[in-house]
Structure 1
Amino acid sequence: MRLVLFYHVAGAELHDALQVVRENRPDASIGLVVEAIDMMEPYISRLVEARVVDGVLPLNLRLDVFMAAIDLLMKGGEHFPSALLGRLSNRPTTQLEPSLYQTKSVDAARANALKLRRNSMAALTTREVQILDLICKGTQNKIIADKLHLSENTVKVHVRNIYKKMNVRNRTEAASRFFNDTSESSDLSGRWPH
């Protein structure tokens, strides 16, 4: 299990569910699916502020963006819409209940999982992850550009940025690093996520 998405789960139930996931699968990403950013409960906002969850997916996102965000979360990245982060930065900070991470073993497991996931993949944007996904399938820049409705030059810029962020020199190294990074943080090592 690499990703757990919660939708329509009340605060107390969500608290318990998050604790169970973190105790049993500390390396799994956790996302919250919400109706819209402006409809988020205060408890969920506090979870986001404390980065207890790895992403928030509003249902009013375009489907391709929503799926790219899920893909990003499955690969160990984070997805927090800029509108959400802007709203949270304008509010006074509040503290989460300390019982969310109540044992040292859960803390240690979470810290180790975060170290594994805070690699070069986490630095990639959603668009870069889409392009990396196609690179790993052996797709040429021209075809990537056509599929994503971009110019070939824009794809080349994204590819250069991917190489720089992943500290690789070519497509083969990028694909190798991608598969090694995702298999280390997954029970499905060696399997492609699609």
Structure 2
Amino acid sequence: MNMTPPAYKDEQDGLVANGHDPEARAEPRRVILTATTPGSISERLLHALRLEFPWCDVERVSRVDAACTAFAHPVALILVDAQLMKAVEEASAALSRQHPQAIAALIEVDDHKPVSSINEVLASRVIRGVLPMNLGLDAWLAVIRLMLCGGEYYPPRMLRAFAERHSLPIGPRTRLPHGRENDITELTAREMQILEMVSRGLQNKTIAAEFRLSEHTVKIHLHNIISKLGAHNRTEAAARFRYFQERSVPSSSGEY
């Protein structure tokens, strides 16, 4: 499996990144913290995180109380084993106080048979997403990137089960509680084309030339794309596109 991280340019934030060149990304170091029981996340995946996000330190603890301490850099993302969710809820105040900038996500080994229900996750005081471990590596890293950008992710299977239990209509445009399902199918054909080019790191000027549009029109399209997806910026929108693109291709293996 190709583990080479993509390069991209974020014109709004003025950031240029390449997974093999930490100096090319002009942003402070952050920490990805995993609070996991033995065997929940492999050393191979931790190594993949370090390769994909070289501006992040990847730290690992086995107890929630060990996560409620200061690290060398601000914690941006906390990945929590589903088995530790109760402990995380009990320590929610301490975690929020110690890591105010962090997003916490629940690790589920298999989103077909999750340990936690979406009801529990939505009611959580600290959890803001779910990270399935049965994804292909590229899709898995795309979800991590989305979360590092401040986005939330909930597996479609868990959301669908929630909709069925609550008798909500299920369809390609189903809207679930809190607007947490941002459907990429709402984009027009032109918006999809532009988002695909943004995901490849192309600048507005290049995109405008490709479609014979003005840069102003491209910016309007990007504004609409970001609004429809509920993203914070073009980087997050591109990360969502890459995830959906990878998710549509069946993985040859769910093993890591």
TM-score normalised by structure 2 residue count: 0.38
Which structure's residues are more often helix, by fraction?
1
The structure with the larger Rg is: 2
Higher RCO (Cα < 8 Å, 6 or more apart): 1
TM-score normalised by structure 1 residue count: 0.48
